Amino acid sequence: MKLYTADLSPYSARVRMQIYAKGIKDIMFELPEHWGMPKFRERFPIGRVPVLDIDGDLIPESAVIAEYLEEIYPEPSLLGTTPRKTAHIRTLARLSDIYIITNLFMLARLTGALGRKVPAAARDNSVTDQLAGEVVRNLKALDKFIGTDGFACCGRITLADCALVPGLFMVETILPPVGVDSPIPAIANVGAYWTAIQKNEHAARVLIELRRGLEERREMIRSGAAERFRAARDAAQKEADAQN
């Protein structure tokens, strides 16, 4: 099996952390060719990573891949020991996925904040206020659900931690470049969790990969490679649209 993945992708990081925590050794990682380009969508219609490749049979979507891996590698389980606990783990993971990362991605796309500081004059404060406000609101909701013993739930690593670690990394990465200080330290349980979970070996490993991806993105911006990539992608998209 192969996982198409990218260092800076929080959704890919979620599956990588699960793979590390479960000790799975037979899944290779690969950055897919043409990722971000229209050509990529010929083989991967959603056009996003992660994708799990099982001898050419492709499974997209991080949450779906995570559940599939739990079924085929049941031990050690990253789910709950009861259906209710598993439901709680899924609630925490959805908070990260839908309510935190989705808003941050929109913010990054609309402002270009992933990898660079957005100059104050170039900010649209109505967009920033709206999306950053949603993130803060949802971190406060998370505070009511999250564990207080260093793990998101159940006193051990679960799929909730795998989703939350990349989510909280994205909060710290995307909000400051648009002029919003990270709200995490001021939200008591989330702040304590964030401090504690970074010491976990599997979390620390994906955080190194995420930071490496961020450094690469910054270097691409500095060197002009990001701008060249965007121009090539837009031209390829125009050509693809003209053919359809």
Q: Which residues bind ligand GSH (CB under 6 A)?
A: 9-11, 36, 47-50, 61-63
**Which C-beta is closer to ligand GSH: that of 106 or that of 196?**
106
CB of 242 to ligand GSH, least distance (A): 20
**Which C-beta is closer to ligand GSH: that of 11 or that of 192?**
11
- The span from the CA of 99 to the CA of 61, in Å, is 16
CB of 48 to ligand GSH, least distance (A): 3
CB of 3 to ligand GSH, least distance (A): 11
CB of 149 to ligand GSH, least distance (A): 27
CB of 12 to ligand GSH, least distance (A): 6
**Which C-beta is closer to ligand GSH: that of 22 or that of 217?**
217
**Which C-beta is closer to ligand GSH: that of 61 or that of 70?**
61
**Which C-beta is closer to ligand GSH: that of 49 or that of 184?**
49
